[in-house]
Amino acid sequence: MRKGQYRFVAGFLLAPLALYLIFVIWPYVQTIGYSFTDWQGQSQTFGFVGLDNYKALFQDDVFLQAIWHNILFLVFIPVITILLALFFAFMVNAGGRGGAGGVQGVAGSRFYKIVYFFPQVLSLAILAVLFGAVYRSDGGGLLNGLLIKLHLVDGNSPVEWMNEPNLVLWCLMAVVVWHGVGFYLVLFSAAMQSIPRDIYEAALLDGASRSHTFFRVTLPLLWDTVQTAWVYLGIIAMDMFVLVSTMTQGTGYGGGPDHHSEVMANVMMRNFLYFGKSGYACAMGVVMLLLTLVLSVVTLRATRRERIEF
């Protein structure tokens, strides 16, 4: 590359790099710096407290409980979402009967893709309102109304879905899974369409069942896409702020009942904006960042496989 080309490329990269440093890297650096202080947010003065904020974090029962809830989300949300999306993607691409055109999806597969993808066009705030009606704790809620009609629940004592400590986390997971399955169905469908149909036809001619075709052909060839989906869903599971703060009750940004739906993000925002412990909240943010980075690296390494060419 000639000297003039280096200058040309550097000129194009300089502005984006400067913007990235100013609006992405610098806020991270500031947050790390504030986490070592007793900053209260509104004041311009703060004192250096060293590692006191980090020591307090690991003595904070609410924050430790929030970490455990995020771990539960991290385990169940990616697993359930990816399994459902893979199943539906396989059905709409290769789950139908083989015809003159070879292996094909089930009848109406294009329509199913649109239906499954529809929740993805809704924002999480809208989903919180919709599922607030689904999870209403009286007979007017969709779930309770259905259970009452089926005589599975007494109309005088309906289920309080978002106020039951043993149910609230599962209710939140259901919203995230319902919202995400359609997107990953489309993602996996695009990857499946790049797999030559001859591979499926050869497997079926050799006597492979649909399940064997899925586990021995489809899944290995989609592993890179599944790995990427797992990382993105893991990042979503480490957040969950919007749904927890809008769908659950609690002192400042939800988390009820009795802290049974707390996640790290809403505990951090409560301390930052509600209690005015901004330096302490910055320490929580740093812990969240480190946990997310570590989990992403571990996930990528644990799921790494030798690339299969076709």
- Domain residue spans in the chain? 53-302
Looking at residue 190, its amino acid is A
CB 157 within 8 A of CB 276: no
CB 93 within 8 A of CB 109: yes
Collapsed DSSP state (helix, strand, coil) of residue 306: coil
pLDDT higher than 50, residue 100: no
| Other Cβ atoms within 10 Å of 272 Cβ, number | 21
- Which of 279, 244, 293 minimizes the C-alpha distance to 264? 244
pTM, to two decimals: 0.86
Q: Name the average pLDDT for the chain.
A: 85
pLDDT higher than 80, residue 101: no
Helix H, strand E, coil C: the string for 76-133 is HHHHHHHHHHHHHHHHHHHCCCCECCECCCCCCHHHHHHHHHHHHHCCHHHHHHHHHH
pLDDT category, 169, cuts 50, 70, 90? very high
CATH fit for domain 53-302, picks 1.10.10.60, 3.30.750.80, 3.40.50.720, 1.10.3720.10: 1.10.3720.10
pLDDT-above-90 percentage for the chain: 35
